[in-house]
Homo-oligomer: A and B are copies of this chain.
Amino acid sequence: MSKETKYLLSESDIPKAWYNINADMPIDPGETAWNAVLDPATQKPLTPDALSAIFPKRFVELTASTDRWVEIPEPVIDVYKLWRPTPLIRARRLEKALDTPAHIYYKYEGVSPVGSHKPNTAVPEAFYAKDEGATGMITLTGAGQWGSALAMACRFFDLECHVYMVRVSYYQKPYRRILMESFGATVLPSPSDTTEYGRKLLAEDPDHPGSLGIAASEIVEAAATLAGKLKFGAGALLGPVLMHQTVIGLEALQQFELAGEYPDVVIACNGAGSNFGGFAFPFLHQNFTAGKNTRAIAVEPMACPSLTKGKYTFDCADAANTWPLMKMHTLGHSFVPAGIHAGGLRYHGMAPHVSALYDHGDIEAVAVHQRPTFDAAIQFAGEEGILPAPESAHAVKVAIDEALRCKEAGEAKVIAFNLSGHGHYDLGAYDAYLKNELEDYEYPDEAVQEALSQVPEVALG
Interface residues of A (CB under 8 A from B): 4-6, 8, 10-11, 78, 81-83, 89, 93, 111-115, 152, 155-156, 174-175, 178-179, 181-184, 378, 381-382, 384-387, 424-425, 427-428, 430-431, 434
Contact = CB atoms under 8 A, between A and B. Distances in A.
28 contacts: A4-B10, A5-B11, A5-B78, A5-B81, A5-B82, A6-B81, A6-B82, A82-B93, A82-B385, A83-B385, A93-B156, A111-B111, A112-B385, A113-B381, A113-B387, A174-B431, A175-B424, A175-B427, A178-B428, A178-B430, A178-B431, A178-B434, A179-B424, A181-B430, A181-B431, A182-B381, A182-B427, A184-B382
Nearest to A9: B8
A387 B182 contact: yes
A175 B434 CA distance: 13
Contacts of A385: 82-83, 112-114, 152, 156
Interchain residue pairs A-B with the least CB separation, the first 8:
A113-B385, A5-B81, A178-B427, A424-B424, A175-B427, A178-B431, A113-B386, A155-B382
A182 B430 contact: yes
A114 B385 CA distance: 8
A60 to B, nearest CB: 28
A387 B5 contact: no
This protein's copies in its complex: 2
Contacts of A425: 424
B8 A8 contact: yes
A69 to B, nearest CB: 24
A112 to B, nearest CB: 8
Nearest to A90: B81
Given A10-B8, A81-B6, A113-B387, A174 B427 contact: yes
